[in-house]
Amino acid sequence: MSVIGVPEPRGSRRFHVMTKLDETRWAVVQRRDTRYDGVFIYAVSTTGVACRPGCAARTPRRDHVEFFATLADAERAGYRACRRCRPDQGRVVDASLEAVTRLCRRLEQEGAVDVVAFAAEVGYSERHLRRRFAEVIGVPVAAYARSVRARRAREILPSSPAVTEAVYAAGFGSSRAFYEHGARSLGMAPQRYRGGADAEHIRYTTLVTPLGHVIVATTARGVCAVRLGDDEAALERELAEEFPRARRERDDAGLGPLASVLALAVRGEGEVASLPLDVQGTAFQVRVWETLRRVPRGATISYAELATLAGAPRAARAVGSACAANPVAVAIPCHRVVRGDGSLGGYRWGLDAKAALLRAEGATATA
């Protein structure tokens, strides 16, 4: 029985999507799959109890079960934590995580943030906030801001009347700063990028997995994008923004086999490392990504180790940025990079997704 990662038919509605996601979760509950611990909560209406997916309690009847993303959601709906599997004693929720997340969102919206003022606003010292940020996200605030600005430049360029204006709109102080930081991240000259990916034919499909929705897109040469998210329509919009001039075509039937490979990979199975890729990056990014593809399933590697393997032992931070810029989630396994002390570090698609992927692959990492 494999209901995980069924490709969504064209024009599917939200109700339909939710039903499929629930089917997937139900299958996980039935086989008491502990690898999905932390991915969702199920609650039983007859007992009023909320459980982890792997709870050893008797499997309830399907029509008595409700699913929630988090225990807090279940509690708001009137359920209490199970005394057997103790979903209330999971990962310690740290208030500084919320501050870090808010800083990320602010940087994404504004390109630059006065960190001293922000720290005061959320009640932390600047030093503590910066340290927590680097611990959680994997790169310092400044590096994250640079990558956000480079990304904004990339998003703004295709529709801007002039490259120079785009450079300023993205928050770079000068075109020189842009060419030093932004242009490198594009992997091609800005003038050329403004043309968009002309004449490229991109086919894509979406699937539902325990990690949420996944969109996968491919050119004639290989997979060019794999993104995770909880909104299918948003993923389609992001794809359109990333490849504005390409001819994009939804092809659920043709990409069925590719979707299956990814669905298996999310479960820690199958062979995703052999998929052909067609990704754009700088020479350094590509070197990091190629090195990452050699990290086997079930293993993890630290940013420093990865930097050494990629031939740049002093560039652990730049390696972190290259991981964050990975255009093909899972297919280039940037989720296998953890911090030197074994803690998760950062993940572009969220730490829950990273933890779930590592658990599925049987890797040991602490959250």
With respect to Zn ion, which residue has the nearer C-beta, 55 or 228?
Answer: 55
Contact at 8 Å (CB) between 11 and 254?
no
We find the least distance from the C-beta atom of residue 311 to Zn ion, in angstroms, to be 48
**Minimum CB–partner distance for residue 60 and Zn ion (Å):** 10
Closest to Zn ion by CB, 82 or 214: 82
- Whichever of 29 and 85 has its CB closer to Zn ion, that residue is 85
Query: Taking CB under 5 A as the rule, does residue 55 contact Zn ion?
Result: yes
Residue 64 Cβ vs Zn ion, minimum distance, rounded to whole Å? 14
- Dihedral sign for Cα 36, 334, 97, 231, please: negative
Q: Residue 197 to residues 163, 191, 192, 242: CA-CA distances in angstroms?
A: 17, 12, 9, 9
Stretch that binds Zn ion, among 8-16, 47-55, 193-201, 344-352 (CB under 5 A): 47-55
Helix boundaries (H) for 157-302: 163-169, 175-177, 183-186, 190-193, 232-242, 256-266, 283-292
Integer Cα distance of 20 and 48 in angstroms = 24
Q: Which stretch binds Zn ion (CB under 5 A): 79-87, 202-210, 261-269, 321-329?
A: 79-87
Pairwise CA distance, residues 307 & 300, whole Å: 14
Rounded Cα distance, 283 and 128, in Å: 34
Q: Which listed residue (85, 226, 272, 325) binds Zn ion by CB under 5 A?
A: 85
Among residues 29, 51, 119, 328, the one that binds Zn ion under rule CB under 5 A = 51
Contact yes or no for 149/157 (Cβ under 8 A)? no
What minimum distance in Å lies between the beta carbon of 208 and Zn ion?
Answer: 25
Contact call for residue 82 and Zn ion (CB under 5 A)? yes
Q: Which residues are catalytic?
A: 51, 334
| Residue 28 interacts with Zn ion (CB under 5 A): yes or no | no
Minimal distance in Å, beta carbon 280 to Zn ion? 46
The Cα–Cα gap between 212 and 75 comes to 21
Choices 45-53, 100-108, 206-214, 279-287; region in contact with Zn ion by CB under 5 A:
45-53
Nearer CB in complex with Zn ion: 41/129: 41
**Interior CA angle at 261 toward 6 and 359, to 5°?**
90
User: With respect to Zn ion, which residue has the nearer C-beta, 21 or 82?
Assistant: 82
Whether 212 and 353 have beta carbons less than 8 Å apart is answered as yes
Nearer to Zn ion, 4 or 82 (CB): 82
Q: Does 64 bind Zn ion (CB under 5 A)?
A: no
The residue sitting closest to Zn ion, measured at its beta carbon, is 82
Helices 126-137 + 141-156 axis angle, to 10: 60
84 contacts Zn ion (rule: CB under 5 A): yes
Q: Read off the amino acid at residue 67.
A: F
CA atoms of 170 and 356, how far apart (whole Å): 34
Question: What is the contact surface with Zn ion in residues (CB under 5 A)?
Answer: 51, 55, 57, 82, 84-85
